[in-house]
Amino acid sequence: MIPFSPPRIDDATVKAVEEVLRSGWITTGPRVKEFEKRLAQYCEVPRAIAMNSWTNAAELVLRWYGIGAGDEVIVPSYTYCATANIVVHTGAKPVMVDVLDDFTIDPDAVRRAITQRTKAIIPVDIGGLPARTDEIMRIAQDTCGLFTPRLNLRVGGRNPQMLMGRALVLSDAAHSFGARIGGRPLGVQADITGFSFHAVKNLTTAEGGAITFNLPEPFVMDDIYAWFSMMSLHGQSKDALAKSKAGGWRYDVTMAGHKCNMTDLQAAIGLVELGRYDQETLPRRKAICERYHEAFTGDDRFIVPVLGDGRRSSSHHLYMLRVAKATEEQRDTIIEGIARRGVSVNVHFIPMPMLSFYKGLSYRIEDHPRAYANYSREISLPVYYDLTDGQADQVVAAVKAAVREVMGA
Dump the DSSP string for 321-333.
EEETT--HHHHHH
pLDDT of residue 246: 78
What amino acid occupies position 320?
Answer: M
Partners of 76 in the β-ladder:
97
The reply to whether 397 and 293 lie within a common domain is yes
CB 52 within 8 A of CB 285: no
3-state secondary structure at position 13: helix
The reply to whether 260 and 371 lie within a common domain is no
Nearest C-alpha neighbor of 68 from the set 94, 95, 91, 87? 91
The reply to whether 251 and 321 lie within a common domain is no
C-alpha of 233 from chain center: 22
Domain end call among 231, 255, 274: 274
The reply to whether 221 and 309 lie within a common domain is no
CB 203 within 8 A of CB 274: yes
- In the chain, the number of structural domains is 2
Question: Which CATH number goes with the domain that contains 154?
Answer: 3.40.640.10
Evaluate whether residue 1 is within a structural domain.
no
The reply to whether 310 and 245 lie within a common domain is no
Boundaries of domain holding 328: 277-407
Evaluate whether residue 2 is within a structural domain.
no
The reply to whether 45 and 110 lie within a common domain is yes
The reply to whether 96 and 185 lie within a common domain is yes
Domain end call among 274, 306, 325: 274
Question: Which CATH number goes with the domain that contains 367?
Answer: 3.90.1150.10
Evaluate whether residue 355 is within a structural domain.
yes
Q: What is the pLDDT along the chain (409 residues), one digit of tens a residue?
A: 999 999 999 999 999 999 999 999 999 999 999 999 999 999 999 999 999 999 999 999 999 999 999 999 999 999 999 999 999 999 999 999 999 999 999 999 999 999 999 999 999 999 999 999 999 999 999 999 999 999 999 888 899 999 999 999 999 999 999 999 999 999 999 999 999 999 999 999 999 999 999 999 899 999 999 999 999 999 898 787 777 777 778 889 988 999 999 999 999 999 999 999 999 999 999 999 999 999 999 999 999 999 999 999 999 999 999 999 999 999 999 999 999 999 999 999 999 999 999 999 999 999 999 999 999 999 999 999 999 999 999 999 999 999 999 999 7
Name the CA radius of gyration of the chain, rounded.
22
pLDDT digit string, tens, across residues 74-89: 999 999 999 999 999 9
Evaluate whether residue 3 is within a structural domain.
no
Evaluate whether residue 309 is within a structural domain.
yes
The reply to whether 154 and 15 lie within a common domain is yes
The reply to whether 237 and 327 lie within a common domain is no
The reply to whether 194 and 333 lie within a common domain is no
Beta strands in 248-309 (DSSP E): 302-303
pLDDT of residue 245: 79
The reply to whether 286 and 384 lie within a common domain is yes
Evaluate whether residue 374 is within a structural domain.
yes
Q: Give Cβ neighbours of residue 314 (< 8 Å, ≥ 6 apart).
A: 127, 128, 129, 130, 176, 179, 289, 306, 307, 308
Backbone angles phi, psi at 49, to 5 degrees: -130, 135
Domain end call among 246, 274, 302: 274
Evaluate whether residue 61 is within a structural domain.
yes
Evaluate whether residue 4 is within a structural domain.
no
The reply to whether 141 and 186 lie within a common domain is yes
